[in-house]
């Protein structure tokens, strides 16, 4: 059977939370174990600079995200796991692609258009106020991330599909001008990715400030679980599992039989305090060992660097020859060559 090359990037901003784990990390690691796929997974730290200009936070986030994926079971022997900035060929390719990308294509990018719209809504005289060239042209960096490794299937959230289409457009343009070079990538939309509720019952998201960080120390983790919003129903009163953040969280981690049983316990009027205790136990069981491993890795940044360096070497085995080919095709290289 032929193998599919699956590639995806994680922008390194923030510290992973439970929603990231159930929605992205856990399914991606499971998928990476499929013998018919070859996975490339990288930390998009140049993308992070578009959103965050605080060096300490940028640094901390790369470290936490690398440690999280490894602690959650990513096998760096199976997966080519690397940091974008360790592959200088990616930024080199970005420039070459920039020279074949229509500005009009970038004008249509949702992220850019949304930023412009915000300025217009705020009655700003300059619709481009506060918008960097990084934000404007980052779909080209993303195209380079993908095309560099001839990524075929690109698992992304819905908000990113337009960028994959742009990468296709850019690849086609290059292929047309300089000959067949790049595979055209396809987005794989993660429909099955679970959406977890946060502390206030809305979708768990950094922008709502309602997250439960994945690897909080156990005591703090318990405290956060205890803070999850419930209603004022007393113990013994029947409760509705379809309107309960605690139940949704439970369902994302328990097996089907346990979920059914919990439905019954809701009907029987389980006390919120007890439900929180049960949920804590379940989550803690799933995360305990991973948390220990995470802490070990966080305390040993040299080991993280070493793992990422090995990943970068594997990635550069592809990137260096491809970049050489690209340079040749566009007419750059030794004058005598």
Least separation in angstroms between residue 11's CB and ligand TRP is 4
97 lies in the binding site for ligand TRP (CB under 6 A): no
69-88 as b/e, with b when 16 or more CB fall inside 10 Å? bbbbebebeebbbbbbbbbe
Q: Give me the 116-155 binding string for ligand TRP, x by CB under 6 A, dash otherwise.
A: --------------------------x--xx-------x-
- Residue closer to ligand TRP, measured from CB, 162 or 251: 162
45 lies in the binding site for ligand TRP (CB under 6 A): no
Beta carbons within 10 angstroms of residue 134's beta carbon: 13
160 lies in the binding site for ligand TRP (CB under 6 A): yes
C-beta of residue 6 within 8 angstroms of C-beta of residue 155: yes
- Residue closer to ligand TRP, measured from CB, 71 or 142: 142
Q: Which residues pair with 6 in a beta bridge?
A: 39, 153
19 lies in the binding site for ligand TRP (CB under 6 A): no
**Alpha-carbon span 315 to 308, nearest angstrom:** 10
Least separation in angstroms between residue 163's CB and ligand TRP is 6
DSSP 140-181: HHHHHHHHTTT--EEEE-GGGHHHHHHHHHHHHHHHHHH-S-
32 lies in the binding site for ligand TRP (CB under 6 A): no
11 lies in the binding site for ligand TRP (CB under 6 A): yes
Least separation in angstroms between residue 146's CB and ligand TRP is 5
Instruction: State which of residues 17, 26, 47, 83 lies at the interface with ligand TRP (CB under 6 A).
Output: 47
C-beta of residue 154 within 8 angstroms of C-beta of residue 171: no
What lies within 8 Å, CB to CB, of 313 at 6+ separation is: none
Name the residue whose CB lies closest to ligand TRP.
Answer: 9
Integer CA distances (angstroms), 212 to 10, 198, 200, 254, in order: 19, 7, 11, 18
- Residue closer to ligand TRP, measured from CB, 9 or 198: 9
**First-residue to last-residue Cα distance in the chain:** 39
C-beta of residue 237 within 8 angstroms of C-beta of residue 269: yes
156 lies in the binding site for ligand TRP (CB under 6 A): yes
85 lies in the binding site for ligand TRP (CB under 6 A): no
Least separation in angstroms between residue 126's CB and ligand TRP is 26
The residues of the shown chain that bind ligand TRP, judged by CB under 6 A, are: 7-9, 11, 44, 47, 142, 145-146, 154, 156, 160
């Amino acid at each position: 059977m032929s193998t599919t090359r699956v590639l995806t990037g994680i922008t390194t901003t923030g510290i992973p939370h439970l929603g990231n784990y159930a929605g992205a990390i856990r399914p991606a690691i499971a998928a990476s174990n499929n013998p018919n796929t070859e996975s490339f997974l990288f930390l998009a730290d140049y993308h992070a600079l578009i959103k965050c200009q605080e060096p300490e936070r940028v640094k901390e986030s790369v470290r936490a995200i690398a440690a999280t994926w490894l602690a959650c079971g990513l096998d760096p022997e199976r997966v080519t796991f690397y940091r974008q900035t360790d592959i200088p060929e990616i930024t080199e390719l970005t420039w070459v692609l920039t020279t074949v990308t229509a500005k009009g294509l970038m004008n249509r990018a949702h992220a850019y258009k949304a930023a412009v719209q915000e300025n217009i809504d705020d009655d700003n005289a300059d619709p481009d106020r506060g918008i960097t060239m990084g934000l404007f042209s980052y779909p080209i960096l993303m195209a380079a991330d993908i095309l560099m490794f001839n990524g075929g299937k690109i698992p992304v959230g819905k908000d990113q599909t337009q960028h994959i289409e742009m990468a296709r457009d850019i690849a086609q343009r290059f292929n047309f001008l300089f000959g067949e070079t790049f595979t055209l990538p396809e987005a794989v939309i993660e429909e099955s990715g679970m959406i977890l509720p946060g502390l206030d019952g809305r979708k768990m998201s950094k922008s709502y400030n309602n997250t439960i960080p994945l690897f909080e120390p156990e005591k703090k983790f318990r405290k956060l679980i205890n803070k999850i919003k419930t209603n004022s129903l007393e113990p013994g009163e029947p409760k509705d599992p379809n309107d309960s953040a605690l139940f949704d969280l439970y369902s994302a981690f328990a097996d089907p039989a346990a979920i059914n049983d919990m439905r019954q316990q809701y009907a029987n009027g389980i006390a919120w305090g007890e439900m929180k205790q049960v949920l804590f136990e379940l989550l803690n069981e799933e995360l305990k060992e991973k948390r220990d491993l995470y802490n070990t890795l966080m305390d040993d940044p040299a080991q993280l660097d070493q793992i990422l360096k090995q990943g970068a070497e594997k990635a550069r085995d592809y990137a260096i020859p491809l970049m050489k080919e690209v340079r040749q095709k566009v007419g750059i290289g030794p004058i005598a060559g």
